[in-house]
Amino acid sequence: MNESKLRCVSLVAVAALLLAAPACGGGGSSRGNDRWVTTQDTTVDIDWDAIGKAYKSAEGPEDFENKVNEIYTGSEIISVAVHDTDAKTQEIVGFFDRDTDGKVTDSEKIFTLKRNIVDGNSAEYQIRGHGGYSSYHSPMFTILAGAATGYMLARVFSPSYSPMYSQRYVTPTSRHAALTSHRDGYRQKNPAKFNNTSKSSKTGKSYGKKGGGFGGGRSSPSPRRPTSRSRGGGRFGITRRAPRRIRLEA
């Protein structure tokens, strides 16, 4: 076999190995069998500012899970687990209960919202993402008495306050059908919010995996198109008028 034929055979063999490598290596990811990775909804953006507002206005866990599923634009239902870990601290976990066992596992977690009572006049909360949303970590938000509009949070400022969820509340699997129906009805009434459900936010904010450690919900200015001026202009890009043509009469 001459040198040119040998070189051609070698190139064909290398190309075959390159094409076969992804199939054999499973994409090279150590998390290839992780159910979080295989679900398509990990690409769905979440409006973290809206999650915080939903918490402040929620009347209770069921109202909060309704609001969260209105915000989430993916196809899965988000369940919540609410637990008062002590007299001042409450932890809420949003998760995909894929195996419908009513238990929170690390691979199912979407976010954790942790609230602490500072004193009788103020509390604070913080949200952090998990899994595909792990890059989001909010600053500590302060809530003053009177600023919370929902009973779930406003009641912590009552002199007679005592924790209600020392025994953890978890969204019952029997509520999934009701949550789906509620969410579908909300989307039908608000179609403009769900025209582009997988990638972008209608508010121009950066959320989900694209959010930074702080301020992931801040607005990003839209780029402006350069406008031409009818006269003058700057040093660069001066717009010139075409010379006028004068018709001479015979």
The whole-number pLDDT of residue 3 equals: 54
pLDDT digits (tens, 9 = 90+) for 196-223: 544 433 333 333 343 333 333 433 233 3
**Residue 51: pLDDT above 50?**
yes
The whole-number pLDDT of residue 118 equals: 96
How many C-beta atoms surround the C-beta of residue 109 within 10 A?
A: 20
The whole-number pLDDT of residue 203 equals: 33
The whole-chain average pLDDT of the chain stands at: 74
Q: What's the rounded Cα separation, in Å, for the pair 170 and 81?
A: 4
**Residue 155: pLDDT above 60?**
yes
Q: What's the rounded Cα separation, in Å, for the pair 128 and 136?
A: 6
Q: What's the rounded Cα separation, in Å, for the pair 230 and 242?
A: 11
Q: What's the rounded Cα separation, in Å, for the pair 17 and 15?
A: 5
pLDDT classification of 127: cutoffs 50, 70, 90:
very high
**Residue 239: pLDDT above 80?**
no
pLDDT digits (tens, 9 = 90+) for 30-39: 333 333 333 4
The whole-number pLDDT of residue 194 equals: 82
pLDDT digits (tens, 9 = 90+) for 62-117: 999 999 999 999 999 999 999 999 999 999 999 999 999 999 999 999 999 999 99
Entry pTM: 0.64
How many C-beta atoms surround the C-beta of residue 25 within 10 A?
A: 10
Q: How far is CA 200 from the centre of its chain?
A: 10
Q: How many alpha carbons fall within 13 Å on the CB side of residue 227?
A: 4
User: Which pair of tokens denotes residue 169?
Assistant: 């509340």
The whole-number pLDDT of residue 146 equals: 86
